[in-house]
Structure 1
Amino acid sequence: MFNKSTQMLFMGILITSILLSISSNSWFVVWMGMEINMMSFMPMIMEQKNMMSKESSLTYFMVQTIASMLLIMSVIMLNIKKLNFTTINPMEMMLMSALMMKSGMSPFHFWMPKMMEGMNWNNCFILMTMQKIIPLMMMSNIIKINMLTMTAMMMSIFIGAIGGLNQTSLRKLMAYSSISNNGWMMAAMMISETTWVTYMLFYMMMTMIMTTTMNMYKNYHINQLISMNETTTKKFLLMMNMISISGLPPMMGFMPKWIVIQSTTNMNQLMLMGVMIMLTLITIYYYLRVMFTTMTLVNIEPKWNNNNSNKNYKMTTMMSVMSITSLTLITMMMTAN
Structure 2
Amino acid sequence: MMNKSTNMLFMFMLIVSVPVSISSNSWFIVWMGMEINMMAFMPLIVEQKNMMSKESALTYFMVQTIASMLMIMSLIMLMLNENNINLYQNNSGEMMLMSALMMKSGVSPFHFWMPKMMEGMSWNKCMILMTWQKITPLMMMSNIIKINYIIVTTTILSIMVGAIGGLNQTSLRKLMAYSSISNNGWMMSAMLMSEITWTLYFMMYAIMTIIMTKSMEIYKNYHMNQIPMMNESTTMKMFLLMNMLSISGLPPMMGFMPKWMVIQYNMTINEFMLLGTMVIMTLITVYYYLRIMFSVMMLMNTQTKWNYKNMNMKKNKTMMLNTLSIMGMLTITIIISLY
Aligned equivalents of 2:212, 2:192: Cα separation in 1 = 28
Q: Deviations over 1:273-310 (max 9, x none)?
A: 01100000000111112222321111233444311134
The structural deviation recorded for 1:91 is 0.8
Question: 8 Å contact 1:160–1:180 — kept in the other structure?
Answer: yes
Q: Partners in 2 of 1:235 and 1:310 — Cα distance?
A: 14
1:41 corresponding residue in structure 2: 41
- Out of 119, 141, 155, the residue aligned to residue 153 of structure 1 is 155
In 2, Cα distance between equivalents of 1:209 and 1:30: 30
Partner of 1:225: 227
When residues 292 and 324 of structure 1 are mapped into structure 2, their CA distance, relative to the original with a 3 A threshold, is: closer
Partner amino acid for 2:51?
A: M
After superposition, the C-alpha distances for 1:199-218 in whole angstroms (9 at most, x for unaligned) are: 00001100111101111111
Contact 2:257–2:329 (Cα < 8 Å) also in 1: no
Is the counterpart of residue 291 in structure 1 residue 301 in structure 2?
A: no
AA matched with 1:325: M
TM-score normalised to structure 1 length: 0.94
Deviation at 1:81, TM superposition (A): 3.6
Match of 2:258 in 1: 256
Q: What secondary structure is seen at the aligned counterpart in 2 of 1:165?
A: coil
Equivalent-residue separation in structure 2 for 1:111 and 1:303 (angstroms): 42
8 Å contact from structure 1 (residues 217, 227) kept in 2:
no
Residues 330 and 138 (structure 1 numbering): CA distance in 2 closer, same or farther, change over 3 Å?
Answer: closer
Could you tell me how far 1:311 is from its partner in structure 2?
Answer: 2.2
The number of aligned residues is: 336
Q: How does 1:1-337 map to 2 (within 5 A)?
A: 1-81=1-81, 89-323=91-325, 325-326=327-328, 328=330, 332=334
Q: Distance in 2 between matches of 1:266 and 1:301?
A: 54
Q: 1:316 to 1:112 in 2, by over 3 A?
A: closer
Q: Is the 8 A contact 1:250 1:330 kept in 2?
A: no
Deviation per residue, 1:43-72 (Å, 9 max, x gap): 000011322100000000000000000001
Indicate if the aligned counterparts of 1:206 and 1:244 stay in contact, CA closer than 8 A.
yes
Distance 1:86 1:98, change over 3 A: closer
Judged with a 3 Å threshold, the aligned counterparts in structure 2 of structure 1 residues 298 and 334 are, in CA distance, closer, same or farther, namely farther
CA contact (8 A) 2:159 2:182 kept: yes
How far off is 1:231 after superposition? Answer: 0.5
For structure 1, the residue ranges without an aligned partner over 5 or more in a row are: none
The whole-number CA distance in structure 2 between the counterparts of 1:257 and 1:212 is 23
Aligned partners of 2:203 and 2:253: how far apart in 1?
Answer: 15
Cα deviation, residue 247, structure 1: 0.2
Change (3 A) 1:40 1:326: same
Gaps of 5+ in 2: none
Q: How much identity, in percent, do the aligned residues show?
A: 66
Following TM superposition, by how much is the alpha carbon of 1:325 offset from its aligned partner in structure 2, in angstroms? 2.6
Tell me, yes or no, if the aligned pair for 1:228 and 1:294 is still in contact at 8 Å: no
Q: CA 1:143–1:224 in structure 2 vs 1: closer, same or farther (change >3 Å)?
A: same
Shift, 1:5, TM fit = 3.3
Please state how far the C-alpha of 1:321 moved relative to its aligned partner: 3.1
Judged with a 3 Å threshold, the aligned counterparts in structure 2 of structure 1 residues 249 and 29 are, in CA distance, closer, same or farther, namely same
Whichever residue aligns with residue 8 of structure 1, its letter is: M
Structural RMSD (CA): 2.2
Letter in 1 for 2:42: M
Check whether the contact 1:156–1:180 (CA below 8 A) recurs between aligned residues.
yes
Asked if the contact 2:20/2:30 (under 8 Å) is kept, the reply is yes
Query: SS in structure 2 opposite 1:80?
Result: helix
Distance 2:87 2:98 in 1: 17
The secondary structure found in structure 2 opposite 1:107 is coil
